């Protein structure tokens, strides 16, 4: 299983499935990260956390722990 945490800078991927439950999953979905959404990795902080992504036309920074629950497939 590949997760958003494993993606390299500049790659474009599609969300395959969201793992997790409850408030965490709802928060991720409220940010626009839903099944079938295309994501591009823009930047990664020097120590690796957070990750800046482009999703639905806007920039979003998420923690590695949150990126770990997002299963992806390459475009």
What is the topology classification, in CATH, of domain 4-74? SH3 type barrels. (2.30.30)
What percent of the chain stands above pLDDT 70?
100
In 3D space, the residue among 70, 61, 4 whose CA is nearest the CA of residue 34 turns out to be 70
CA R_g for the chain:
11
What residue ranges do the domains of the chain occupy? 4-74
Give pTM, 2 decimals.
Answer: 0.82
* Distance in angstroms (rounded) separating the CA atoms of residues 66 and 50: 10
In 3D space, the residue among 34, 18, 33, 14 whose CA is nearest the CA of residue 74 turns out to be 14
6 DSSP assignment:
G
Question: Using one digit for the tens of pLDDT, what is the confidence trace for 22-42?
Answer: 898 899 899 889 899 999 999
pLDDT of amino acid 11: 92
Other C-beta atoms closer than 10 Å to the C-beta of 46 total: 6
């Amino acid at each position: 299983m590949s997760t958003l945490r494993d993606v390299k800078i500049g790659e474009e991927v599609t969300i395959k499935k969201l793992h997790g439950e409850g408030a965490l999953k709802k928060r991720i979905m409220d940010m626009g990260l839903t099944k079938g959404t295309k994501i591009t990795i823009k930047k990664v902080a020097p120590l690796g956390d957070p990750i800046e992504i482009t999703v639905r036309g806007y920039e979003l920074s998420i923690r590695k722990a949150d990126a770990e629950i997002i299963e992806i497939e390459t475009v």
